[in-house]
Amino acid sequence: MSKGTVVLAYSGGLDTSCILVWLKEQGYDVIAFLANIGQDEDFEAARKKAESLGAKKVFIEDLRAEFVADFIWPAVQANAIYEDRYLLGTSVARPCIARRQVEIARKEGANFVSHGATGKGNDQIRFELTCYALYPQVKIIAPWRIPEFYNRFRGRKDLMEYAEKHGIPVPVTPKAPWSMDANLMHISYESGILENPKSHAPADLYLMTKNPEDSPNTPDVLEIEFRNGVPVRVSNEKDGTFEESPLGIFSYLNTVGGKHGVGRIDIVENRFIGMKSRGIYETPGGTILLQAHLDIETFTMDKEVRRIKQGLGIKFSELVYNGFWYSPECDFVRHCISKSQENVEGKVMLSVFKGQVYILGRESPKSLYNEELVSMDVQGDYDPCDASGFIRINAVRLREHHRLQGLSSTTKK
């Protein structure tokens, strides 16, 4: 008798294929769910593999368009970046995948969901917090946190032996000595030989971007148009190529950025679970958009609003990294950031060249830039004498501090 139906987040790889068979051994009916979020994958081959392993049903869902519109674009509006460097490519993908996983579980009457995330990483938290938020009654099976599973499968060798025993097709090419996670926004690399933070990444590791040294010797000049803080059009000034759909825009920026080696970082970051980890990331399109959005936002947004919004962006980044996309506080922060973007509109011209993004110019119908006011050649509606009082008022606090407690009070004999 079946213990119930479980929807497994399935990748087609060795780990989740073994988990699929193991779940069946435990008495569950398994529905395999594979999300297309832009990774290079033979989805039909994965479907056939899951069916051959005994999956009751297989869902292959193309989530690329909603991944961009519902998850990447809010991150762009926020200038989302974790610990000053990481653009959150995996972090924003997990709630997108888990949302559809829960939708399938509800539709199919499944009481269980399962995933192949390890017990040491952030992804288990991101998957499960999303599932619990959107399907409070759900039960989660996390094999890599179940002693009977992780004691049985202590490494890749054990998984390979299990696969051969149960007729699970095994990879015919050697596994790279690191783990990789790819989606439309980025590719991340970690573990294996990369766990030594001093070791340099091998030259053949990068799959999404060219080595900047080998990139073209002429730049691509792009114009990116924003409305409400999100890109609505990108065009290439050199060859006239343009894109206007969210998926088309982001894919094209990935292509251009990848060609010029933009968006590589090698960092040590703080996982939510309490340990530091080394990660290498390629985020070409996201890096271009961060620079462009920062520019048009500063051009069109009030200084004090932007100061508050910067703090909200940091908070948003931490919440997303830690798996709280569907928390009430993250919902509140997203609404505040969205409000701040109402006048972030205009065009940014930039050059992409040899691993760098260079801003060339910008224009906006909602610009707060007053050329006459700021000009050194025209006085405009500004009296320079007013600056004297402004400076004296701001100096009151400084003068009193240093008179009573600072350097000036100690120099008196």
Instruction: Supply the pLDDT for residue 172.
Output: 67
Q: Is the distance from CB of 68 to CB of 44 less than 8 angstroms?
A: no
pLDDT confidence of residue 405: 92
Q: Are strands 112-114 and 230-236 parallel, antiparallel or unpaired?
A: unpaired
- Establish whether 123 is a catalytic residue: yes
**Residue position matching structure tokens 């991944």:** 67
Q: Where do the CATH 3.90.1260.10 domains begin and end in the chain? A: 180-301+343-363
User: In this predicted structure, what is the pLDDT of residue 72?
Assistant: 98
* pLDDT score of 17: 96
Ranges for all domains in the chain classified under CATH 3.40.50.620? 5-175
Catalytic entry in 123, 181, 220, 295: 123
Active-site residue, from 152, 179, 251, 338: 179
Dihedral sign, CA of 221, 226, 230, 234? negative
Fold of 180-301+343-363: Argininosuccinate synthetase, chain A, domain 2 (3.90.1260)
Q: What is the pLDDT of residues 8-32, one digit of tens each?
A: 999 999 999 999 999 999 999 999 9
Active site residue 181: no
Beta pairing class for 28-36 and 57-62: parallel
What is residue 171's predicted lDDT score, i.e. its pLDDT? 76
pLDDT number for residue 249: 98
User: What is the reported pLDDT for 156?
Assistant: 85
CATH for the stretch 5-175: 3.40.50.620
- Known active-site residue 302: no
- For the question of residue 84 being annotated catalytic, the response is no
Among 9, 92, 160, smallest CA distance to 319 is for 92
**pLDDT beneath 50, residues of the chain:** none
pLDDT at residue 175 in the model = 79
**pLDDT of amino acid 378:** 80
Burial tier of 287 (Cβ tally within 10 Å: 0-12, 13-18, 19+): buried
Q: Quote the tokens at residue 290.
A: 């961060």
Task: Of 187, 113, 162, 172, give the one whose Cα is nearest residue 15.
Answer: 162
> In the prediction, which pLDDT does 1 show?
85
- Distance set, CA 5 to CA 112, 180, 323, 362 (Å): 6, 29, 25, 54
Catalytic residue from among 11, 15, 181, 278? 15
Pairing of strands 179-182, 57-62: unpaired
Q: Which of 29, 64, 91, 94 is catalytic?
A: 94
Q: How many CA atoms within 13 Å lie on the side-chain side of 194?
A: 22
**Cβ contacts of residue 62 below 8 Å, gap of 6+?**
36
